[in-house]
Amino acid sequence: MKIMPVIFLLLSCVAAHAGFDEGQAAYERGDYATAVHEYRMSAEQGDAMSQLRLGIMFKRGQGVDQNVEEAVMWLKKAAELGNEEAQLSLGLRYNKGQDVKKDDAESAKWYRKAAEHGVVGAEFQMGYVYERGLGVKQNLAEAVRWYSKALDHGFSFAKESLERTKKRLRTE
């Protein structure tokens, strides 16, 4: 009896992935209406990548009327399922107040989720929020830790921030 829910779950995952593939193929050939349809079907089944793509299409108005609220809703769904690109995107949006109300704590939350998955841009942003105390308690040692991770992962722009923060840490 327990095998039936597992089979249903597996079939749902296969169908969601197939919907993503069909959506991606339609998107690549410029058939945005079909892409939205396919992405929506798999997004509603819980496919995070389809949710991300659907959010992007609503933001851009591709195949649908532009709708930033709908775009953010789909990005949040994808981010909550662990999609790192959506997590970083939400961090940036909350940081800038783009399509959402500016919220440093919410920005730091999404940056942290992406950074913990090794997203180098989010690692840099975590250094920045700790250096400035944006949405988190200012902590220069944590800023150094995150800037160092970003630099270790090839984000050369982190070098100047890392050196500046280390210098501040030594003088405080």
Beta-carbon neighbour count of residue 103 at 10 Å?
A: 15
* pLDDT given for residue 15 in this prediction: 45
For residue 172, the model assigns a pLDDT of 83
Q: Residue 124: which of 77, 90, 91, 172 has the closest Cα?
A: 91
What is the per-residue pLDDT for 54? 97
Total residue count of the chain as it appears in this document: 172
Output the pLDDT for position 18.
63
Place of tokens 């009896």: 1
Q: Does domain 84-172 have CATH number 3.40.50.450?
A: no
Confidence at residue 111, expressed as pLDDT on a 0 to 100 scale: 98
Radius of gyration of the chain (CA): 19
With both helix axes pointing from N to C terminus, report the angle between 158-171 and 140-152 in degrees, rounded to the nearest 10: 150
Per-residue pLDDT of the chain (172 residues; tens, 9 = 90+): 444 443 333 344 444 456 789 999 999 999 999 999 999 999 999 999 999 999 999 999 999 999 999 999 999 999 999 999 999 999 999 999 999 999 999 999 999 999 999 999 999 999 999 999 999 999 999 999 999 999 999 999 999 999 999 999 999 8
Query: Is residue 41 within 8 Å of residue 19, measured between CB atoms?
Result: yes
Tell me how crowded residue 97 is: count the other CB atoms within 10 A of its CB: 11
pLDDT of residue 5: 45
Question: So where are the chain's domains?
Answer: 1-81, 84-172
Rounded distance between C-alpha atoms, residue 148 and residue 146, angstroms: 5
Tell me what pLDDT residue 16 has: 47
- Within this chain, domains 1-81 and 84-172 share the same CATH topology: yes
Q: Which of 122, 128, 163, 160 is nearest to 142 (CA)?
A: 128
Span 1-81 CATH architecture: Alpha Horseshoe (1.25)
